[in-house]
Each structure stands twice: as structure tokens, then as C-alpha cells.
Amino acid sequence: MLYDVQCQSKSDIKQLYSDVFSNYQKSIVPNSDFSSPLNITVSLFLITITRFQEVDQTLDLAAGLGVSWKDEDLSWNSSSYGNAENIVVPLTDVWTPKFSLVNSVATYEPLGGDNANFATLKSTGEVSIFVGEVLSSKCTTNIYKFPFDSQTCYLIFNVLGMTSETVTLNPAFNPIVLSFFTPNSDWSLQSYKGETSIWNGYSIFTFTLTIQRSPLYYTVLVCVPTILFGLLNPMVFLLPVESGERIGLSITILLSYAIFLSMVQTAIPATSNPMSLLLIIMIVTISLSGIILALTIYISLLYHRDPKTKMNFFWRYIGTRNNTLTGVQPFTNDCEGENMKSWTETSPSWKDVCEGFDNIGMVISYCILFIINCAYFIAVLS
């Protein structure tokens, strides 16, 4: 069985182009009925998340808008032109909406600029274009759970200079397309959605995305050293006072932690609200380090105090924790045959007081560090 198949030729396309654009006015909005706005269908093609800058609170990503609308002046009978259902023409030959990113931090020029894009025309009058660009938008940062945080950002698009009475944006059946998406190594795409609405008299298309940080790098670089610094600090109470290294080690740890804290602050925006919980933990830890340094100095002072200096009840109580008891049991052969026992208690020395103070300080320090670290991980992982 043979079928008669008619295909368009080059001459058919030339004639089609000549007939369609002979009386076409590209400066007029292609409304079939000017009593109602032109309906424009929008979808966003997400290509990749370039980077997210916490300090500047900006999101950079590569994306493009797929836009379509109906223009009755660009329709034709396909059978008259060799069954040509669609043609591709330069973007400058037809009326096109000029989209812009409302919350851009870089530029407010139309997307795509003046580059040589193309428009696809169908015989039904439907016009489709695609404009892509690297976009930079403002994104308010919430780093309360840093580095286990997620950020929700918004990209707001509208047609420059045209209110909702002239054009109305409608989401496509699939408003967000990930066919060309390339994942980012630092941020993973957690959720996304696209919707249209009216805002201040303009029809807008809002792209909402939530990205999750990959925490491994900052966990190794920030969280682990923070915990190790905290665990190392109370160990100064284990050093003998006679070594003379206790104060030096305490100062070294305090200064090292202060330098480390200044390095971490460069990765955390100063204007973040609420404040980073990790930064709060670090400030508490460095404050505890300062207290340990002060206690170390005071314990050294007690250790070298004159042994004849009288102790009050508080110092005697701490000293007795390390004081030894000696028992004296005399043996008698009296008629009752009873053993008489008497016990004498040695008075604690200032060395005993220092050792008791060391034990108490180390236990309390580790308890505080355990509580604040557990509280941090419970808060960020909940």
C-alpha cells in the first residue's frame, strides 16, 4: 500500500515566512481580545546551583525560562505550505515578553540580553522561546543549625513594564524541569516548586527551592576541632603544679581557640538572625577556657601558700577529699579484754587542697562540655 506524503520544501518555508510576516507588527502585544490580558505559560529549567554565599547572602544558579503564548497573527494553514507545522525564526522578528529577576543582586536587565536566540512558531499561532542566564538572587541566610543547615531561597520573575492587566503568567503543567540539572557538590536540592501570583499589580512567577548543605567538610574542619579543643582544655588539671607548665598550656589553648574562632567567623555571616548555634557553643567553650585559666592561676597560688596559713572551713572540706586517715589501735590485757580504738585525723595541707580543687574543676568542666555538646547535636539534628 502506498501513501501520498507531502513534505515542505525550502520554497514553501520562504513563502510561509513572507506571508506570515508581511503585515505583522512586532511592537504590539498579541492580544486577541484587548479586554483581557495575554496568557503566558512559564516553566523554569534548572541547570545547576553554582554557589551559595552565606556571608553575602546570595544564591547563584544557572537556569532558563521556557515561555509560550498564542499569537493569532502568526498562525497559518499548514496544508498550504507543504504541511509545515512549525518554523524557527530569530527572536527579534516577533513580539516577545522581556523577563527580569525581581530580587536580582547583579542586574535588572531582561533575561538573555540581546543574544541571538530563536523562537519556534507553530501553525496554531503558539510561540515558544527559551531564555537562559546565570542568575544571582538575594537569599536571606538562616545558619542556626550550621553546618547541618538548609536554606530556602526564592527567585521572582516578572515581565518588565507590563502589569497583570496586560499579561498574566501561568505555570506550565510541569513548572520546574530538571532534565538538564547537574548536582552541586556542596549543596543538594531538597525540594522545589513553581507558582504564579499577583504582587503589587504585576503578575509574577516565583521559583522556591530548598537546598541542603553537605556537612562533611565543615564537620571535619569546624565541629571536630571545636570538640577536641573542649576535651583538651580541662586536662591542664592533670599536670603537676611543680612542672610549671599548667599556666603556659592554658594560655596556649586559649589563644589557639581564639584564633580558630576568628577563622570560623569568616564563613558565618555577621548579620544572621538567629545566631549560629555552633558559634554560641564556641563562645561558651572559649569562656570556659578563660575560667579554667583563671582557676589554674589561683590553684598555683594556693599551692605555694605558706603551710602555716590558717585554713577556713571551705578549704579544709576540699582538702579532706584527699586527706588520709591513720588509725591507732592500742592492745590491752585488762580484765574486760576489750580492744580500745582511737582514731586521729591528720590535718589537710595546701597540696591536698590543690589536688581536691583539680579534681573538682576537671569533673565540672567535662560535665559542662558534655552537656553543651549534647545540646548542640540534639538541636541541629532534630
pLDDT tens for each residue of 304-338: 887 777 777 777 777 776 554 334 444 445 544 44
CB neighbour burial string for 15-36, b if at least 16 within 10 angstroms, e if fewer: bbbeebeeeeeeeeebbeeeee
pLDDT at 212: 93
What is the maximum alpha-carbon separation in the chain? 142
Q: Which of 21, 34, 28, 120 is nearest to 74 (CA)?
A: 21
**109 vs 135: CA distance, rounded Å:** 11
- How far, in Å, CA of 351 to CA of 245, rounded? 17
DSSP for 312-343, written as a single string: -HHHHHHHTTSPPEEEE------TT-PPP-EE
CA atoms in the 13 A half-sphere facing the CB of 62: 8
Select the highest-mean-pLDDT range: 102-111, 204-213, 343-352. 204-213
* Start-to-end CA span in the chain (Å): 70
Helix (H) or strand (E) holding 25: none
How much is the average pLDDT of 41-68? 91
For the chain, percent of residues with pLDDT exceeding 70: 88
The ranges assigned to domains in the chain are 17-214, 217-324+341-381
Contact (CB, 8 A) for 144 and 274? yes
- As a whole number, the mean pLDDT across the chain is 83
Q: How far apart are CA 131 and CA 117, in angstroms?
A: 8
Which residues make Cβ contacts (< 8 Å) with residue 323, sequence separation at least 6?
A: 345, 346, 347, 348, 352
* Grid cell of 46 as nine digits: 534548572
Q: Within a 10 A sphere around the Cβ of 65, how many other Cβ atoms?
A: 21
Return the C-alpha cell found at 217.
567538610
Q: What CATH number belongs to 17-214?
A: 2.70.170.10
Residues 137-142 have a mean pLDDT of: 89
Residue type, 14: K
| CA nearest to 284, candidates 368, 175, 167, 179 | 368
Strands 167-177 and 38-53: parallel
Q: How many CB atoms lie within 10 A of CB 136?
A: 20
Instruction: State what percent of residues in the chain have pLDDT above 90.
Output: 28
CA 74, 76, 78, 84 torsion-angle sign: negative
| pLDDT score of 49 more than 90 | yes
* CB burial string 252-267: b at 16+ within 10 A, e below: ebbeebeebbeebeee
> What gap in Å lies between CA 14 and CA 293, rounded to an integer?
87
Question: Tell me, what's the pLDDT at 194?
Answer: 92
Q: Any idea what the Cα angle at residue 106 is, between residues 103 and 111, rounded to 5°?
A: 75
- 217-324+341-381 carries CATH number 1.20.58.390: yes
For the cut 80, the answer to whether the pLDDT of residue 265 exceeds it is no
- What pLDDT was estimated at residue 338? 44
State the pLDDT confidence band at 359, using cuts at 50, 70 and 90.
confident
Q: Give pLDDT tens digits for 162-198.
A: 899 999 999 999 999 999 999 998 999 999 999 999 9
Residue 342: what pLDDT?
Answer: 41
Query: Cell for 58?
Result: 546570595
Contacts of 303 (CB under 8 A, 6+ apart): 241, 350, 351, 354
Which residue would you say has higher pLDDT here, 330 or 245? 245
